[in-house]
Amino acid sequence: MKTSEIYSLSIEQIVNAAVVGGMDSTIIIKGEMGGGKSTISRLIKQEPEYAKHALVRMDCTTLDLGDVMVPDIMRLGQQDSGTHDISVMTYAFNERLGLHESGPIILDLDEFGKSNRSVQNALLPLLLDHELAGRMLHPKSVVIASTNLGAEGVGDLLQPHARNRVTLVDMRKSDNMEWLENFAVNAGIDPSMMAWVKDTPELFQSFRELDDPEENQMIYHPLALNRDSFVTGRSLEKASNWLKKRHLIDSTTLTAVLIGTIGPMAAKKLAAYVALGDQLPKLADIKVDPNNVIIPKDASAVCMVVYSALSTIEKEWVDAWMVYLNRLSKTAQELFCNGVRADKYSRRDIVVNTQAFQSWCLENNYLFTADKK
């Protein structure tokens, strides 16, 4: 295993590194496509010390040199005994880069490695000195950039003089449970999708673990040249959007659009899983009559019910949900509790500050309080 792979960092570790040292050193994140590199700047902004920073994101693949800065003329007036004004050429920078902001910013240069050479060279002063066209960023600003792995063969290339100015870190691919806890539950991903992801960890396998791409036909592999669609965290989110509208299209169309989003093998497996999920008890019924609503016999179906509750629960029906949860298996109860315990869970306070949840914790020997990390 290469050193870069041994020291590959999780998204949380990279965010922490940026929070600690991002004002002094620009971090360029290398990682697999669709793995969440573009979310890191938003996660940095969620940290208390960066909450008031303006977030500026720039897709570098859309830029040409003229989109970074263009020549401008500054007239200085008569500077000698001559009759002509003295003029000098300066540069005007693109407003989208955020250099006009008076306060600190988080500048995210997304897909920096795919930008053309002239754009990379023009942006190097931002990476090294947090300066462009004579304008300095606020001293508390953070600059990060991202690029794909060279092994993916998608055209990312950093020159040695650029690499020497920054801190390069390798971001490992999130596993299925990290994607669920850190993203899916808070992003409103379809519950059937979340349950399927939980039961299918190979969806998040890295191609770097495989010599033969046929060992996992659901993920991207640079040697699988005819694999047009495949599973990433990003494509799963797109597939979830289709699942939410499945009541408006027929099953053949649903499978077709899923194939075009996550590939044929993953789409067929997901479609079969969804058919099971559509037979689940409705949350609306659980809210009204938690003691008598049916309990799914299939363990995967139970997972769907739990994830559906995690992503939608409100204070008004926590009590009813806890009544129903107590009728489920201990495994399902622990799944719900672990979801609530996740640091980034957006509905955490809604659940943990209720008497019903606290009573469940006491009865099940969970040492859990509202502020526990």
Find the domain containing 8 and state its range: 3-170
Task: Give the pLDDT band of residue 301 (cuts 50, 70, 90).
Answer: confident
Q: Round to whole Å and give the CA distance between 217 and 240.
A: 20
How many other C-beta atoms can be found within 10 angstroms of the C-beta atom of residue 152?
17
pLDDT score for 372: 44
By C-alpha distance, which of 170, 193, 302, 203 is closest to 242? 193
Domain boundary among 111, 142, 170: 170
Is 201 inside a domain boundary?
yes
Phi, psi (degrees; rounded to nearest 5) at 173: -75, 135
Is 251 inside a domain boundary?
yes
Is 132 in the same domain as 229?
no
Is 135 in the same domain as 189?
no
Q: How far is CA 185 from CA 244, 311, 312, in A?
A: 15, 5, 9
pLDDT in tens, 143-176: 999 888 765 555 556 677 667 778 989 999 899 9
Is the Cβ–Cβ distance between 50 and 41 less than 8 Å?
no
The SS3 call for residue 368 is coil
Say which CATH number the domain at 127 has. 3.40.50.300
Is 294 in the same domain as 314?
yes
Is 53 in the same domain as 114?
yes
Identify which has the larger pLDDT, 20 or 7.
Answer: 20
pLDDT in tens, 167-209: 989 999 899 998 998 888 888 899 889 989 998 999 999 998 8
Is 368 inside a domain boundary?
no
Domain boundary among 137, 170, 203: 170
What is the torsional sign of CA 347, 349, 353, 358?
positive
Q: Mean pLDDT for the chain?
A: 86
Q: Round to whole Å and give the CA distance between 245 and 241.
A: 7
Strands 69-77 and 86-93: antiparallel
pLDDT in tens, 48-104: 899 999 999 999 888 888 888 888 877 666 555 656 677 777 888 888 888 888 899
Total number of domains in the chain: 2
Is 215 in the same domain as 121?
no
Task: Give the pLDDT band of residue 371 (cuts 50, 70, 90).
Answer: very low
Phi, psi (degrees; rounded to nearest 5) at 19: -65, -40
pLDDT score for 78: 59
pLDDT in tens, 72-83: 877 666 555 656
Is 327 in the same domain as 284?
yes
Is 197 in the same domain as 153?
no
Our measurement of the distance from residue 229's CA atom to the centroid of its chain's CA atoms, rounded to an integer in Å, reads 19
Is 95 in the same domain as 126?
yes
Is the Cβ–Cβ distance between 318 and 350 less than 8 Å?
yes
